[in-house]
Structure 1
């Protein structure tokens, strides 16, 4: 929606995607790579940069065009029945076709299956500690199952990642993506981190050159920009806290701890969505959640100001959205 304006001249603000609005600034300088062909050495260098960034063994990592592509290929490679840990809208991993849902994963299962969970989950933004995920992995390995962790939104909170646990003798696969944290949705790039046998089979399925030379160059440079990464993680935490404060101030209740977005609780999510829409702000409704709405974190002062006015407009409209109360 960037650059699209309404007839009254207001540009749209897209807070529906959960993508970092303060993008990595180096992509424009790499524009020349759009005209080049991908190179095997450059792809290998990208994978080394990504492995260092994730804290993963390079032998266990494979670049993929996007997290959805890799996840769908994993469905055939792992070849077990699939169970999603609720909620059922993980950020990227879609292994299986409408798999059954586990309302909770509080005890070992009694059959070998592939369990898929997102951390942070989506749309709630809830975060699972790494030691809890390690416990899940132990349960899965005891039955001969697999654990697939979708860490699409984990870049800002690297301590929750279990990428470093992946190895040849572990039944763990981690799916990562590039665009959400680095704020470059036009770059289709993701990674599967898994046992070497799984990674090797995935490479065979992908064949040669599933990426553009530009995606390889941008990803390599961005993953090695340690100063920007550290500054962005800190800034995202601060902005997410600012969104919490704003939402509370307007009588609504923020949920979750993912720094890319908040799941906002109210009595009528449709009414809140349309109120924000009137201010040319796009947010995200989810089926099955009539009292919750996902709002991305604003990227600049203009976006913060308009969101504040839009939420304040709820009061001006006569409390068309009933509010939650802060405990």
Structure 2
């Protein structure tokens, strides 16, 4: 499985229609931000304008507490941002805190950098120019504290290098974000919109960093990279702090219920965030397939055959369905 979230393989192998499946293979909020009953006609008929783009950036700057001296650029998802980063950052060796989201290694490998995988971010290679980490990490939820990140960034800045932090899941972990604390260090931060707001199909993400970096990124993305609906929904959602606070509490509560359910069925939950739980058992692949035969799709990992990740089911009925399926599946292992 390269990524979660695509049921095509699941349906091809195990049958059923899309509506039959409970997809737990992602870390996307099952409760999406409420879409407007109607978009403005201009969202569909006019090219996205400067004012709408500026409003989105202002809303994101406030929501993510981006310091004024940093630049901020929006794109159709963070995937394209991380793919373009190698062309913007200095040449030299790359180190990636691993295991983590696999696309990071792929884009730097494609750039010819041959990134080194770090098992500990606290032992930087002496020659590393670019260090990349996901915080909190995917899939294990490991969190590096702000003070440590600042120290790593200062070391890299002295070398003329950069720290790249992917904060895709920082929305659900209070105090996790490095963004509000950046001063003059060479730091680039990626923020994902779709995961917390449950609107992955909208394709919206942000990159914050020095003005020189964000200006170059904006030039690569060129004009009209975001759709009118993405601008409207993104701005509204990022301004809606009441929804964000209530949703953050709800996700914590539902993750507690999911963790208890997994533990009850003999799975050892050892990592995660309020959007996903990482569990371990001897036959993770076997459990994954047993659940798939019951049209429940989880996330497994080639590099860790004892790991299986569960996204939030989304409500008591889906959690009960998972519990019943786990009871049956564990009997088959």
- What TM-score comes out, normalization by structure 2 length? 0.88
Residue 84 of structure 1: SS of its match in structure 2?
Answer: strand
C-alpha contact 2:298 2:308 (8 A) present in aligned 1: yes
Residue 298 of structure 1: SS of its match in structure 2?
Answer: coil
Equivalent residue runs for 1:122-271 within 5 Å: 122-167=138-183, 169-271=184-286
Report the equivalent of 2:319: 304
Report the equivalent of 2:30: 21
Q: 1:157 to 1:94 in 2, by over 3 A?
A: farther
Q: 1:9 to 1:114 in 2, by over 3 A?
A: closer
Shift of 1:252: 0.7
Q: Distance in 2 between matches of 1:83 and 1:8?
A: 42
Q: Distance in 1 between matches of 2:215 and 2:190?
A: 15
Residue 168 of structure 2: SS of its match in structure 1?
Answer: coil
Equivalent residue runs for 1:78-157 within 5 Å: 78-80=89-91, 81-89=93-101, 95-97=107-109, 99-157=115-173
From 268, 293, 296, the counterpart of 2:308: 293
Report the equivalent of 1:325: none
Report the equivalent of 1:323: none
Shift of 1:139: 2.2
- What TM-score comes out, normalization by structure 1 length? 0.90
C-alpha contact 1:133 1:162 (8 A) present in aligned 2: yes
Higher relative CO (Cα under 8 Å, sequence separation at least 6) belongs to 2
Q: Distance in 1 between matches of 2:312 and 2:326?
A: 14
Aligned residue-pair number: 316
The runs of at least 4 consecutive aligned structure 1 residues that moved more than 4 Å come to 4-10, 90-95
Shift of 1:66: 1.4
